[in-house]
Structure formats: structure tokens, C-alpha cells
């Protein structure tokens, strides 16, 4: 039995013992199991470390909607692009958002054509931009999950305290647990278990995921990002599935990332999110509109809401022809099942967001292959 408390998160010997344990437990299962990871950092680590290729035939890993850039709907990207087209507006955004294609163009293309689009590394950079350039309206494009929302909330509070009237946020933030409900309810996905996101869980803790085990009989494990973390998570999930199939145990949500996540999460960060944002419906690429998974600015902070401050004309969104990102983010297709993969769509010329983002499934698959030695 591997030592789960070891600090050897890259130790090949521990990894080998975990792989052997996974094979032994998986041999007790009568069916193929589908384990979804819902964090782009896990997707990248699984690909980079070739973990798929180490697993038995009957254990399949699916990538889910864990990359915040990838799940941002075309309608939101089009809206951000329209904001960049307003006279006097500077759009400030993370670098990954720049190349994501909207319905007909991207922020990068609009920047090349003269729009004022700037890359920032945090919302505070955007706030400082607003302080330095009071003649410009600075709009920060807020994408990401519970992990980034607290920093954005703190920035909005700081802008309010400073009474800045040239700073606002276009919130396309999303929250994870109810998106997992949509995935667990989707009969096309046939989900067996979940590798839950380490970073998001640092904020929200365990309780918001417990419905997965209670209502859907789906086990989950919160784990870290090193190869041994992920293998340990898979081992624990297979063990739970085997025991549940035998009738000797019940599935549950476990933490295998004690060095990063506490059961209660970070109540201070959650309180910050709840003070500034209210839950709203959000459109996810691939999953459609999921009630209550968006974050909109509450009334006391409405002056900092770019959706209210500006009303650019935005054409109805269109999907990018031939791009299968939607099905890939649902976990029902692999990147190499898209006919554009590695041909018309490569990291230097991405057609869809899953190839743009450094955490996207297509980018991971292109760079590292499927774990069997194959890469595009
Ligand atoms: Fe979209 Fe490109 Fe991925 Fe195909 S390979 S699904 S076009 S991002």
C-alpha cells in the first residue's frame, strides 16, 4: 500500500506502487469506469506526465469543463470584443483571453486593428491602470472560477473605496458545483467518478460537492497536481467504486490534498465573493445555460458593472464551424476526434478556445499526446 502521507509527490517508486494498486483494484470492477477531471491544471498534468497510458483499459480519464477560458461562451467573448470597440474604453484581460476566437474575430485581432486591449496579470493591475489613466475607461474582463473571484471582489471593493469612476468589471465568472450537477445529470456522459479541482476546493471546501455522492452515487476526490497526487486520487476513486460495487462501502467525497485544502475551504474568501457578487445564470461553452453558476455584481457595486455601464451592440453569437470544443468540454469527445485537430487548428493558429488556453484539452493533447506516446 503506498504511503499517502508521503511528501514524494513526484517519487517514481510511489507512482509505480499506486499504478499497481490501481490495476489490482480495477481488476475487481466488472465495467469500464469513466473518471472526469474538472480542472485545466489536472488536464495538463495528466497529459504532461503520460498518466492515461499508465491506467488499465477499463479506467478512462475524461477532461471536463475545467479551463475557465475554454468554458467562456462565445456570447461573452463577443461582448468583450464589443466593449473594446467603444471609444475611450481600454479592455484589460488575462493573456489567454486574447487569442480566443469569438463569433467572427478575437481581442487579439481587434488589438492589431487599433483597439486598446491590454494584457494584465491580475485585476489589481487593471485597477492601477485606471488610477494612472483617468481619461480612459478601464474594463477588466473577469473570467475564472471561485479561485479568481475573491481577488476580483477585493479589487471591486478597493475601486469602490477609492470612488474610481473609470474602472469596471465585465463578469463572466463561473462557479463549479452546479455545473457538476449538470454533468452528473447528463446521460450522454456516463460519469463514474470525479477528480475535483484542487484550486477551487481551496476556496469552497468539501460540502458543496457532497450532493454528488448523496444524490448521484458518484464519488469524488479533491487532489493536487503532481503525478503522485493524481494517481493517488484515481486509486482512491477506484477503491471506492470497487467497494461500492461489492456492497461493502459507500461512495463519498474525499480530500487527498491535505497540504492545500481544508474541509471548510476558505470562509473569508467565500464571504468576499458573497459580499460583492450574487449568483446568476451563466452560459457555459458545451454545457449551455446553467442556473445559478454565474456571478453578477450586487447592487451596492452596480456602478462597477461593465454590463450596466456600457451597452454595446452585440450580434447573436455563432459557433465556430467544425470546432468540437463543446463536446470536448462535456467529456464526450477527445481532442483527436475533432477533424481540425493538428491540421487547421494548432496552438500557433487556434480555431477554438481549447487549443488557445495553456490549460485547454486540445493544447494538452497536441503538446503531450494521449499518454501512449502519440502526439500531434
Ligand atoms: Fe476546437 Fe481546435 Fe479543439 Fe477542434 S482541435 S475542438 S477546432 S480547439
Q: What is the pLDDT of residues 100-137, one digit of tens each?
A: 999 999 999 999 999 999 999 999 999 999 999 999 99
- How confident is the model at residue 321, as a pLDDT? 84
Question: What is the rounded average pLDDT of the residues 226-245?
Answer: 94
Per-residue confidence at 7, pLDDT binned at 50, 70, 90? low
Is the C-alpha dihedral spanning 374, 376, 190, 251 positive or negative?
Answer: positive
74-175+265-309 has the same fold as 12-58+177-244 = yes
Query: Domain map of the chain by residue range?
Result: 12-58+177-244, 74-175+265-309, 334-366
Q: Which of 228, 308, 292, 222 is nearest to 260 (CA)?
A: 222
Average pLDDT over residues 187-211: 95
Q: Report the CATH number of the 12-58+177-244 domain.
A: 3.40.50.11750
Cell 511528501 belongs to which residue? 7
For residue 239, pLDDT over 90 is answered with yes
How confident is the model at residue 185, as a pLDDT? 95
Q: Does the pLDDT value for residue 26 go beyond 90? A: yes
Cα 145 to ligand 1 centre (Å): 22
Which residue among 335, 337, 363, 370 has the greatest number of ligand 1 atoms within 8 angstroms of its CB, and so is best to mutate? 335
- In sequence order, what E strands does 120-192 have? 137-142, 167-171
Residue 374 pLDDT class (50, 70, 90 cuts) = very low
What confidence score (pLDDT) does residue 8 get?
65
**Pick the residue with more confidence: 189 or 81?**
81
Ligand 1 residue neighbourhood (C-beta within 6 Å): 323-325, 328, 335, 338, 340-341, 345, 351-352, 354-355, 362
pLDDT surpassing 60 at residue 6: no
Residue 375 has pLDDT above 60, yes or no: no
> Can you tell me the mean pLDDT for 74-82?
96
pLDDT value of residue 190: 86
d(CA 16, CA 150): 38
pLDDT at position 316 is: 86
Residue 248's pLDDT band (cuts 50, 70, 90): confident
Looking at residue 251, its pLDDT comes to 94
360 Cα–ligand 1 center, Å: 10
User: What's the mean pLDDT in 324-351?
Assistant: 93
Q: What is the pLDDT of residue 376?
A: 46
> Going edge to edge, which strands form the sheet with 117-119?
117-119, 89-93, 137-142, 167-171
Tell me the CA–centroid distance for residue 278 and ligand 1, in Å.
33
| Ligand 1 atom nearest residue 354's Cα | 8
The residue with greater pLDDT, 369 or 126, is 126
**For the residues 13-41, what does the mean pLDDT come to?**
94
- Domain 74-175+265-309, classified CATH 3.40.50.11740, yes or no: yes
Residue 160 grid coordinates = 469602490
Amino acid at each position: 500500500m503506498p504511503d499517502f502521507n508521503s511528501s514524494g509527490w513526484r517519487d517514481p517508486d510511489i507512482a509505480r506502487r499506486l499504478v499497481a494498486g490501481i490495476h489490482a483494484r480495477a481488476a475487481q470492477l466488472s465495467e469500464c469506469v469513466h473518471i472526469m477531471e474538472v480542472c485545466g491544471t489536472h488536464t495538463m498534468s495528466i497529459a504532461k506526465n503520460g498518466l492515461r497510458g499508465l491506467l488499465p483499459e477499463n479506467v478512462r480519464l475524461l477532461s471536463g469543463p475545467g479551463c475557465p477560458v475554454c468554458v467562456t461562451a462565445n456570447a461573452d467573448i463577443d461582448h468583450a470584443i464589443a466593449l473594446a470597440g467603444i471609444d475611450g474604453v481600454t479592455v484589460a484581460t488575462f493573456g489567454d483571453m486574447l487569442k480566443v476566437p469569438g463569433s467572427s474575430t478575437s481581442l487579439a485581432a481587434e488589438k492589431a486593428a487599433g483597439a486598446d486591449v491590454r494584457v494584465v496579470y491580475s485585476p489589481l493591475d487593471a485597477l492601477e491602470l485606471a488610477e494612472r489613466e483617468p481619461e480612459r475607461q478601464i474594463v477588466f474582463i473577469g473570467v475564472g472560477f471561485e479561485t479568481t473571484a475573491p481577488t476580483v471582489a477585493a479589487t471591486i471593493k478597493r475601486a469602490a473605496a477609492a470612488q474610481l469612476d473609470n474602472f469596471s468589471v465585465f463578469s463572466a465568472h463561473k462557479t463549479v458545483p452546479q455545473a457538476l450537477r449538470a454533468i452528473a445529470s447528463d446521460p450522454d456522459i456516463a460519469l463514474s467518478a470525479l477528480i475535483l479541482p484542487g484550486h477551487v476546493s481551496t476556496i469552497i471546501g468539501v460540502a458543496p460537492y457532497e450532493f454528488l455522492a448523496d444524490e448521484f452515487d458518484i464519488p469524488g476526490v479533491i487532489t493536487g497536481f503532481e503525478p503522485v497526487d493524481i494517481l493517488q486520487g484515481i486509486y482512491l476513486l477506484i477503491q471506492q467504486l470497487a467497494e461500492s460495487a461489492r456492497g461493502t462501502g459507500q461512495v463519498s467525497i474525499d480530500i487527498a490534498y491535505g497540504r492545500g485544502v481544508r474541509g471548510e475551504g476558505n470562509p473569508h474568501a467565500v464571504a468576499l465573493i458573497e459580499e460583492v457578487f450574487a449568483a446568476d445564470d451563466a452560459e457555459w461553452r458545451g454545457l449551455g445555460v446553467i442556473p445559478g453558476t454565474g456571478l453578477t455584481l450586487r447592487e451596492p457595486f452596480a456602478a462597477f458593472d461593465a454590463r450596466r455601464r456600457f451597452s454595446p451592440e452585440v450580434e447573436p453569437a455563432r459557433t465556430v464551424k467544425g470546432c468540437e470544443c463543446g463536446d470536448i468540454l462535456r467529456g464526450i469527445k477527445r481532442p483527436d476526434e475533432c477533424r481540425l485537430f493538428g491540421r487547421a487548428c494548432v496552438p500557433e493558429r487556434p480555431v477554438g478556445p481549447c487549443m488557445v488556453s495553456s490549460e485547454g484539452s486540445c493544447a494538452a493533447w497536441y503538446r503531450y499526446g494521449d499518454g501512449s506516446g502519440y502526439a500531434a
